[in-house]
Amino acid sequence: MPHDTVDLRSDTVTRPTAAMHDAMRSAPLGDDVLGDEPTVLALQEKLATMLAKEAALFVPSGTMANLLACRCHCEPGDEIIIHEGGHIINYETSAFAAIAGCSARSIPSADGRFEPDDIAKHIRARNCHFARSRMLVVENTSNTGGGTVWPLDQAHRVCETAREHGLARHLDGARLWNAYIATGTSPADYAQPFDTVSTCFSKGLGAPVGSALAGPKDLIERAHRYRKMLGGAMRQSGLLAAAAIHALDHHLDRLAKDHANARTLAKAIAETPGLTIDLDRVETNIVYFNVESGDAPALQAKLEQHAVRILALGPTTMRAVTHLDADQTGIARAIKALRTCAAA
């Protein structure tokens, strides 16, 4: 693809800025496996403070962070309760089952959110024939929901129901930063009703690699051991932690630009013949829309000829995600290409 391609396949395609590269080059380094990696320790302390948790653990990916939560909260044969579109059960290679030994019961809804009654209906009776309901997962923002944000009071309500039934509560906060910018609700307030929280630095924040799991100190110590077991221990990982620290310090507020660009793109899609979209579902930086012709892959191929990359997720559905490498000029180019290709 040409260098000037507008790549909206995901907010994971971002590249480090020059300032982020400088931060990585100047980071003090140690050996994280030996416990003396100063930049990793600084990141973990910073994130624990931001989320008001006792401790945090830096890991290579959000998939590993979520897997560690499953393994630390559950025993083999336990069951997690999660939305049917949840990332853990759809896009993480069934690691919750293959490695943590868990099963899952999924809650249906159109936007990734659900209510306390939905949880109660999915909790197994205590019986030797059944899996043990053990863990609730909430994803904020919801990827398959369209980047939808959980209202804080709703998150508290579902967590209270989960607590009453003895469930651990895990927040998959890969895009928690987007929820914070969209609502003004602090990451700590969002994290408060949950036992553990996973967050990602390599999506909207623009770091090249890295996620983290935060929670009680004893659970994070256990997660540290499992991280080693899974091959997730890294030596001079301060290079990556420095990028994450820079992202937290400099790229949080600018997420508002991504949200504005997503809204601009969504409104243009709504006005483009041959494309349909639910504008009410565009709350942050993710834009799902439908292709009336029923051939989204064909539209994807046409767009690539115009140096615009948007993912087809099936015969009719497409997803575009805005990010720091797609400015207003790039969004304008994407809109122009969509109008041209949808009419072709």
In this prediction, residue 63 carries a pLDDT of 98
Question: How many Cβ atoms are within 10 Å of 55's Cβ, its own excluded?
Answer: 19
**Residue 328 near residue 27 (C-beta atoms within 8 A):** no
Which amino acid appears at position 316 of this protein?
T
Question: How many Cβ atoms are within 10 Å of 152's Cβ, its own excluded?
Answer: 17
In this prediction, residue 262 carries a pLDDT of 98
d(CA 201, CA 65): 12
Q: What is the mean pLDDT of residues 167-177?
A: 98
Instruction: Evaluate the CA torsion angle 107, 109, 113, 114 in order and state its sign.
Output: negative
Specify the residue for token string 């990734």.
112
For each of the domains in the chain, give its residue range(s) and CATH number, in order of start: 6-13+254-343 (3.90.1150.10), 31-250 (3.40.640.10)
Does residue 166 register a pLDDT over 90?
yes
d(CA 40, CA 213): 13
d(CA 86, CA 223): 22
d(CA 262, CA 284): 7
For residue range 195-234, list pLDDT tens digits in order. Answer: 999 999 999 999 999 999 999 999 999 999 999 999 999 9
In this prediction, residue 224 carries a pLDDT of 98
For residue range 312-344, list pLDDT tens digits in order. Answer: 999 999 999 999 999 999 999 999 999 999 987
> 3 pLDDT band (50/70/90 cuts)?
low
Mean pLDDT of the chain: 97
In this prediction, residue 344 carries a pLDDT of 79
Alpha helix segments (H runs only) across the chain: 18-25, 38-51, 62-73, 87-90, 95-98, 116-122, 152-164, 176-183, 187-191, 217-229, 238-250, 255-270, 296-305, 328-343
Angle, helices 176-183 vs 255-270, to 10°: value is 80
Q: What is the mean pLDDT of residues 46-53?
A: 98
In sequence order, the 6+-apart residues with CB closer than 8 A to the CB of 69 are 135, 170, 196, 198, 213, 215, 223
| Model pTM above 0.85 | yes
**Residue 198 near residue 173 (C-beta atoms within 8 A):** yes
Does residue 2 register a pLDDT over 80?
no
Q: What is the mean pLDDT of residues 79-83?
A: 98
Backbone angles phi, psi at 325, to 5 degrees: -95, 5
